[in-house]
Amino acid sequence: MKRQAEAKIPTDEGHFVMIGYADQPNDYIPHFAFVSDKTDYTKPVYVRIHSECITGDILGSHRCDCGDQLKESMRIVGKEGGVVIYLRQEGRGIGILNKLRAYVLQDQGFDTAEANEKLGLEVDKRDFSVAIEILEDLGIKSVKLLTNNPEKVKAIEASSIEVHERIPLIIEPNEDNLRYLTTKKDVMGHFLDFHNTKHKH
């Protein structure tokens, strides 16, 4: 996997360079790194590893906290410098069609993990090794990791990159995603404290 294209992307949250990573130059589903123009590579770098969520990121679905986490990450990185890595592993790696099928089962009473298992799928089949490749390509040695997910912390700690700090990215639940977030906490072991507000800088 290597850099295939990059361009400057000005946003409401700041100015970024968007870099596309893929094995082939015309890959239709590349991974992305959004690198703030304020990034200082001599210090620990704010990093968010974000997995694609069409329903949350694009449509603002209330069934998850993904879209809000992405917005907050872009805000922090845009202000402080850093990188948001956008991995194309929709629905924790099961794809958008299976995610929609899982939603139907969730509406019947199954939680997120149970719905995946009932479909014969893994609860979480994401692979964060691509994110590590991107960080290494960018020359990042130490990170302030914006995450509640212990698996992301473990993945970075198992690499050559230092986790200088883990920064919570707490989104207050709503009535539509409370069970989803509770499953994240109780079944998947995410570091979640719903009494906290979003991490602010």
The domain segmentation of the chain, as residue ranges, is: 2-89+126-186, 90-124
Please say if 126 is a catalytic residue: yes
Domain covering 2-89+126-186: architecture:
3-Layer(aba) Sandwich (3.40)
Q: What percent of the chain has pLDDT over 90?
A: 57
- Mean pLDDT score, 136-147: 95
Vertex 175: Cα angle to 76 and 101 (nearest 5): 90
- The rounded distance, in Å, linking the Cα atoms of 153 and 42 is 21
Spot the catalytic one: 65, 68, 111, 124: 124
Residue 170 confidence (pLDDT): 72
Cα 199 to Cα 201: distance, rounded to the nearest angstrom: 7
Render pLDDT for 111-129 as a digit per residue (tens, 0 to 9): 878 888 888 887 777 889 9
Q: How far are the Cα atoms of 72, 78, 84, 129, 142 from residue 159, in angstroms, in the given order?
A: 26, 26, 18, 9, 11
CA–chain centroid gap for 24, Å, is 23
pLDDT tens per residue across span 154-184: 999 999 999 999 998 876 665 655 555 555 5
Active site residue 124: yes
Q: pTM for this structure?
A: 0.83
Placement of tokens 């700090």 in the chain: 165
Q: Which residue among the candidates 126, 166, 179, 186 is catalytic per the annotation?
A: 126
